[in-house]
Amino acid sequence: MIENPPIEIQNLTAGYGHSVVLEDVTMNLEHNDFLAIIGPNGGGKTTLLKAILGIIPPKSGSIKIFGKSVEEGLKHIGYVPQKGNFDNRFPITVYDVVLMGTRGGKGYRPRYSAEQRQKAVEAMEKVGIADFASTTLSELSGGQLQRALLARAMAGEPDILLLDEPTASLDPQMKDCIYDSLKRVNDQVSILIVTHDIGVVSSQVKRIACLNRKVIVHDEPLITPDMMQLGYHCPVELLAHGIPHRTLGEHDHD
C-alpha cells in the first residue's frame, strides 16, 4: 500500500500582500523522515511553517498533509514554536501547558481524562522536564521552556513534529538531549526542523534542505556547495571552516 507522504508541498508560492517569500517550492516530508531546513534569516523558513500550519494561505500551489487539506491534516501535527506565541507571564504550570497538547480533535470536552494526564506525564519524562511539572511558566529558563513546548507537542502523539529553531537557546549538552529525544520518537514520527544555525544541524538528521525563497533538498544529511550558494551567497570555502568537515560533500553536477 502506498501511503500519502506526511507533508507534500507542490509548487508552493506564498508571501504577504504583494511580496513573494516562497517561490515554486516543491518538497516532501517522508515517513520517519528527519529533515532539517536551513537557510538565512528572511529566507522563508517561518513562512513555510506558517503555510504548513495554515496560518497564511498559499498564493498558488498546494500543501497536503497525509493527502488531506491543511485544515483536516492539522490534527496530525505537533508544533514547537521558537519562543511561544504567548505571554510568558501567563499564570500556568508546565504540566497544564503539556496537557494542552493532548487536546486533539474537535468538540468541547471540559476535563482531561486520566489517559491524557498519563500522556502528558510521559511526554514530560521523555524530554526531561518532569521535575518542573508544577513550576510556573514564567520561572523557566529558555531551555526549560523549549523542552516544555516540545513535551506539549509530543503529548498529543502527533504523526508529524514541526520544530522552529528548536535548539536556539540551549547549551550544547541540552541540544544533544533534545536531538536524542527526537531520535527516540523518530521511528513513529516524521520530523521537520527549521533553523538558521548550520552548526546546529547535527549528525542526527536524515536529510537537509536549504531554503532561500527557493528550495534545494538533499537526500543525505549533507550541506552541498549549491545550498551554500543559494542560502548565503558566499564562497563555500569561507563557510566550510565553520562546518564539521564531513558534512561538506562533493556535489555531483549532472
| CA–CA gap between residue 184 and residue 63 (Å, rounded) | 27
- Scan residues 37-76 and list those touching another protein (CB under 8 A): 53-55, 74-75
For 3: left if phi > 0, alpha if psi spans -120 to 50, otherwise beta; the answer is beta
111 or 246, CB closer to another protein? Answer: 111
Dihedrals phi, psi of 189, to nearest 5 degrees: -125, 135
Residue 103 Cβ vs another protein, minimum distance, rounded to whole Å: 5
- Is there binding between residue 163 and another protein (CB under 8 A)? no
Rule CB under 8 A: choose which of 4, 93, 169, 229 binds another protein: 93
Residue 108 Cβ vs another protein, minimum distance, rounded to whole Å: 6
76 or 213, CB closer to another protein? Answer: 76
131 or 219, CB closer to another protein? Answer: 131
106 or 246, CB closer to another protein? Answer: 106
Amino acid residing at 166: P
Amino acid residing at 122: E
Rule CB under 8 A: choose which of 2, 19, 109, 115 binds another protein: 109
Binding mask 117-156 for another protein (x = CB under 8 A): -------------------x-x-------------x---x
Identify which range of 21-29, 92-100, 174-182, 236-244 contacts another protein by CB under 8 A. Answer: 92-100
12 or 77, CB closer to another protein? Answer: 77
Amino acid residing at 85: N
Report the 3 state secondary structure along 43-95. CCHHHHHHHHCCCCCCCEEEEEECCECHHHHHHHEEEECCCCCCCCCCCCEHH
Whether 83 and 165 have beta carbons less than 8 Å apart is answered as no
Rule CB under 8 A: choose which of 6, 58, 79, 154 binds another protein: 79
Q: Round to the nearest angstrom and report the end-to-end CA distance of the chain.
A: 33
Q: How far is CA 247 from CA 194, 206, 224, in A?
A: 18, 12, 8
| Binding footprint of another protein on the chain (CB under 8 A) | 53-55, 74-75, 77, 79, 81, 84-87, 90-93, 96-97, 100-101, 103-106, 108-112, 136, 138, 152, 156
